[in-house]
């Protein structure tokens, strides 16, 4: 009987908890660390072992996953003296699932290579609701042999896993995907407001779009939420701003113009200024409606 590798999980947020939960359900031993004791208790209640530091967590693990907020968090967790690379077992893997810059990821890669640790860049495409259903997509790049070892674990919490290359390709691909999502969200807000202002019935518009040439899994999910005027956050405007800043920084380094994305950034900043920073980024609809003189509480 083959013994399953022990998994270390760092970061028990809205994405991390459901993904790690699927790993536990698949029978993998899991050790969890999060800065918030209350957050890690969610996974302890599902059968995980609790660690009280990053070092304690990774010292017990064969494969370490992290789900973090930004570049600064990754530097601290991966590269600090009490962090992953300084304390992980020899021969272990480190799979990092956050949306961060290719630059900081490359710093981690350099140190991981120096220590002979397999480092996988593994940003997740999907939101917390999709993570709860096991329907996220894993975008991955890094050493192919490391990916071959990690893939069975990733298959427990995702609907698809896409290997993109040996370097930072997955980091860039995540920004490409998110650029399309955020820019289309603003386009959708403007189009729906135009239709509503011109007398189209709200649900009929959303049903039509969900069956049109534009239909996609993302649009179908958002259409159902918008029928309910459900703006509960899956991704808040401040987090969108963080991602867009990564996109624009990368674009400058590559000499690529992204005027639409720059405009979307300004509109997301307006949402924060309008007091909508804790809602979903699709609250862009509310802002467009307000500017058009439409009530935002209900479209009916």
Q: Are residues 117 and 259 in the same domain?
A: no
Q: Are residues 11 and 126 in the same domain?
A: yes
Which residues, 6 or more positions from 244, have their beta carbon under 8 angstroms from its beta carbon? 179, 182, 261, 264, 265, 268
The dihedrals phi and psi of 41, each to the nearest 5 degrees, come to -65, -25
Residue 282 structure tokens: 């699709």
Tell which of 141, 167, 193 closes a domain: 167
The residue range of the domain holding 189 is 172-291
Q: What would the pLDDT profile of 201-210 be if each residue is shown by its tens digit?
A: 999 999 999 9
203, part of any domain: yes
Q: What is the CATH number of the domain that holds 233?
A: 1.10.1040.10
Q: Are residues 124 and 250 in the same domain?
A: no
pLDDT for 207 equals: 96
> Based on the structure, what is the number of domains in the chain?
2
Which residues, 6 or more positions from 77, have their beta carbon under 8 angstroms from its beta carbon? 10, 54, 66, 68, 83, 84
2, part of any domain: no
265, part of any domain: yes
Q: What would the pLDDT profile of 245-297 be if each residue is shown by its tens digit?
A: 999 999 999 999 999 999 999 999 999 999 999 999 999 999 999 999 999 88
Q: Exposed/middle/buried for 69, CB within 10 Å: 0-12, 13-18, 19+? A: middle
pTM of the prediction?
0.93
Q: Are residues 132 and 219 in the same domain?
A: no
Question: Shortest CA distance to 273 belongs to which of 293, 287, 294, 259?
Answer: 287
pLDDT for 129 equals: 87
Alpha helices by DSSP H, listed for the chain, are 16-25, 37-44, 54-58, 71-74, 84-87, 102-114, 128-133, 144-154, 169-197, 202-210, 217-227, 237-254, 259-273, 284-291
298, part of any domain: no
pLDDT for 281 equals: 97
Q: Are residues 161 and 234 in the same domain?
A: no
pLDDT for 128 equals: 87
Q: Are residues 157 and 119 in the same domain?
A: yes
Q: Are residues 16 and 146 in the same domain?
A: yes
Q: Are residues 179 and 109 in the same domain?
A: no
d(CA 202, CA 227): 7
299, part of any domain: no
Tell which of 103, 134, 167 closes a domain: 167
Q: What would the pLDDT profile of 63-108 be if each residue is shown by its tens digit?
A: 999 999 899 999 999 999 999 999 999 899 999 999 999 999 999 9
pLDDT for 57 equals: 97
Q: Are residues 199 and 81 in the same domain?
A: no
Residue 160 structure tokens: 């698809």
297, part of any domain: no
Q: Are residues 95 and 223 in the same domain?
A: no
Tell which of 143, 167, 191 closes a domain: 167
233, part of any domain: yes
pLDDT band of residue 217 (cuts 50, 70, 90) is confident
Is 60 exceeded by the pLDDT of residue 1? no
Q: Are residues 124 and 17 in the same domain?
A: yes
Q: Are residues 151 and 233 in the same domain?
A: no
91, part of any domain: yes
pLDDT band of residue 299 (cuts 50, 70, 90) is confident
pLDDT for 2 equals: 65
pLDDT for 300 equals: 62
Q: What is the CATH number of the domain that holds 41?
A: 3.40.50.720
């Amino acid at each position: 009987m083959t013994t399953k590798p022990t998994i270390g999980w760092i970061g028990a947020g809205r994405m991390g908890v459901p993904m790690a939960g699927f790993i536990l359900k698949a029978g993998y031993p899991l050790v969890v660390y999060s800065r918030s004791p209350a957050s890690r208790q969610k996974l302890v209640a599902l059968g995980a072992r609790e660690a009280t530091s990053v070092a304690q967590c990774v010292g017990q693990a064969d494969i370490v996953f992290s789900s973090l907020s930004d570049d600064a968090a990754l530097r601290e967790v991966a590269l600090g003296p009490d962090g992953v690379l300084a304390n992980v077992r020899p021969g272990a893997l480190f799979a990092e699932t956050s949306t961060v810059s290719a630059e900081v990821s490359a710093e981690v890669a350099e140190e991981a290579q120096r220590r002979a640790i397999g480092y996988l860049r593994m940003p997740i495409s999907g939101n917390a609701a999709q993570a709860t259903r096991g329907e996220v997509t894993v975008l991955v790049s890094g050493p192919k042999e490391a990916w071959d070892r990690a893939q069975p674990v990733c298959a427990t919490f995702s609907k698809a896993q896409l290997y993109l290359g040996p370097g930072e390709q997955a980091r860039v691909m995540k920004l490409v995907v998110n650029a399309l999502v955020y820019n289309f969200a603003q386009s959708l807000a403007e189009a729906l407001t135009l239709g509503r202002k011109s007398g189209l019935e709200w649900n009929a518009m959303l049903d039509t779009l969900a069956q049109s040439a534009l239909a996609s899994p993302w649009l179908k999910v958002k259409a159902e939420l918008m029928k309910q005027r459900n703006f509960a956050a899956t991704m808040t405007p401040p987090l969108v701003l963080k991602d867009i800043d990564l996109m624009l920084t990368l674009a400058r380094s590559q000499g690529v113009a992204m005027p639409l994305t720059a405009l979307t950034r300004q509109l997301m900043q307006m949402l924060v200024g309008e007091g909508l920073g804790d809602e979903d980024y699709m609250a862009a609809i509310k802002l467009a409606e307000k500017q058009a003189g439409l009530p935002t509480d209900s479209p009916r």
